[in-house]
Structure 1
Amino acid sequence: MMKTNLWRIAVISTLLLVGCRAHQASLEHLREPIQSPPPDVDGEAWKVKSLNLPKTHIEESLVVYLAYSSRDPFSLPPIALLAESPLSLKACWQPKATTIQHELQRYPLEQLHLKGMISRDAQHTALLQTPNGKVIAVAEGQPVGVNYGRVMRVSATQIEINESLPDGLGCWKRREVKLVLQQPSLDIEKSK
């Protein structure tokens, strides 16, 4: 069985090599019509016409690269390099890493809507609606949003939330966000 396979491989290889040697005639007969003039054109005119190519004037101008002073687009900006260097370990505020304890910590503040207020003994509680339509009551001090937000103050018309956002350089910046209660517009039609 093994000898039969070797014999077949040898025969096929020999046929392929013999096939490569076939039809190796000279290509001179193909080059001749291209170089000789057509029958209706004078031979001298053909040579002159083919040799007198239009002269092109190539002006070598000096190209000056002016963007050496610009930032290299393939490298980090200097401020990012400073933030990565071990010498610039700045002491900046970092939020405490916490796990999600409240349902409102799963949604960005942009997706939460203030839908109403509940007041009892001058104590206000806000009603926030989540993107899936669920309304949740929040009071001062409760966590809200994905960026370490915390309800700082609840009034009759709005809530103030302190949120911490990363600055991209390893530090965090605090910002104050206000969610305002939208008053429904009243369309009063005069009856006749």
Structure 2
Amino acid sequence: MKSFTNPNATWRLGVLGVGALLVGSLAGCAQDMGDLEQKVDKLQARPGGQIEPIPEMKPLPRYAYSVPKDERTPFMPPKEDHVDDGDGLKPDIDRPKEPLEQFPLDALAMRGIINRQNATYALIRDGNGVIHEVMLGDHMGRNYGEVMEIGETSVTLEEIVPDGRGGWKKQTTVVKTQSGRS
């Protein structure tokens, strides 16, 4: 015996099934709401409270703010008090960056020194774990730090940092030896 399914019949059965589910679910919404209506009526029958009127606002006297011309008003930004001392200190932004200048100093660690051919090199581990040989005059860190001294346990840098007033200042920083594998 051959079985034949009519696609329209299947679709109609699906629509009828969904319709039956909707009717059944809406039938649950037809509950007795008399209790709720009584509660609302009781609340609306209670006397309302009195709200005090808003107090009358008395206008304040007008005041004209004036400042002598040579004084700053609090409504204007302060004048720039930075005076260029003429030393022209600023970083050399045209100098090619060295590999260790892409890392902040806290990501660099001194691991030791090497003396070779009458020169002392510091071994510096970068943030990626790579060891670099650094000598006097090399640069490291993001603040244009120049290696000024290499000691047994530290490297002394002279950085050029913003002074907070639109200029630059020199700052001495020391990177000390760190042991371990981190």
TM-score (ref. length: structure 2): 0.54
Please state if 1:56 is matched with 2:77: no
Q: Could you say if the C-alpha distance between residues 59 and 155 of structure 1 is closer, same or farther in structure 2, counting changes exceeding 3 Å?
A: same
Name the one with the larger helix percent: 1
Output the CA distance in 2 between the equivalents of 1:70 and 1:152. Answer: 47
Unaligned runs of 5+ in 1: 1-40, 42-48, 185-192
Output the CA distance in 1 between the equivalents of 2:142 and 2:123. Answer: 18
Q: Once superposed, which parts of structure 1, at least 4 consecutive aligned residues long, lie more than 3 Å away? A: 52-57, 59-64, 68-72, 120-123
* 1:165 aligned partner: 161
Which deviates further from its counterpart, 152-161 or 139-148? 139-148
Output the CA distance in 2 between the equivalents of 1:63 and 1:122. Answer: 83
Please state if 1:95 is matched with 2:91: yes
Q: Could you say if the C-alpha distance between residues 61 and 162 of structure 1 is closer, same or farther in structure 2, counting changes exceeding 3 Å?
A: farther
Q: Could you say if the C-alpha distance between residues 83 and 118 of structure 1 is closer, same or farther in structure 2, counting changes exceeding 3 Å?
A: same
Aligned-pair distance for 1:117?
1.3
* 1:134 aligned partner: 130
Aligned-pair distance for 1:121?
6.9
Q: Could you say if the C-alpha distance between residues 157 and 116 of structure 1 is closer, same or farther in structure 2, counting changes exceeding 3 Å?
A: same
What RMSD in Å do the two structures reach over aligned CA positions? 3.8
Which deviates further from its counterpart, 153-162 or 140-149? 140-149
Identity value in percent: 26
TM-score (ref. length: structure 1): 0.51
Give aligned pairs, total: 125
* 1:112 aligned partner: 108
Output the CA distance in 1 between the equivalents of 2:51 and 2:101. Answer: 76
The one-letter code of the counterpart of 2:138 is Q
Q: Could you say if the C-alpha distance between residues 164 and 53 of structure 1 is closer, same or farther in structure 2, counting changes exceeding 3 Å?
A: same
Verify the 8 A CA contact 1:83 1:170 in the aligned structure 2.
no
Unaligned runs of 5+ in 2: 1-44, 66-71
Matches within 5 A, 1:12-161: 54-56=51-53, 58=55, 60=57, 71-72=74-75, 76=77, 78=78, 81-82=79-80, 91=86, 92-120=88-116, 123-161=119-157
Output the CA distance in 2 between the equivalents of 1:89 and 1:56. Answer: 63
Secondary structure class of the residue paired with 1:176: strand
Output the CA distance in 1 between the equivalents of 2:116 and 2:109. Answer: 22
- Between 1 and 2, higher relative CO (CA 8 Å, sep ≥ 6) is seen in 2
The one-letter code of the counterpart of 2:55 is I
Output the CA distance in 2 between the equivalents of 1:109 and 1:99. Answer: 19
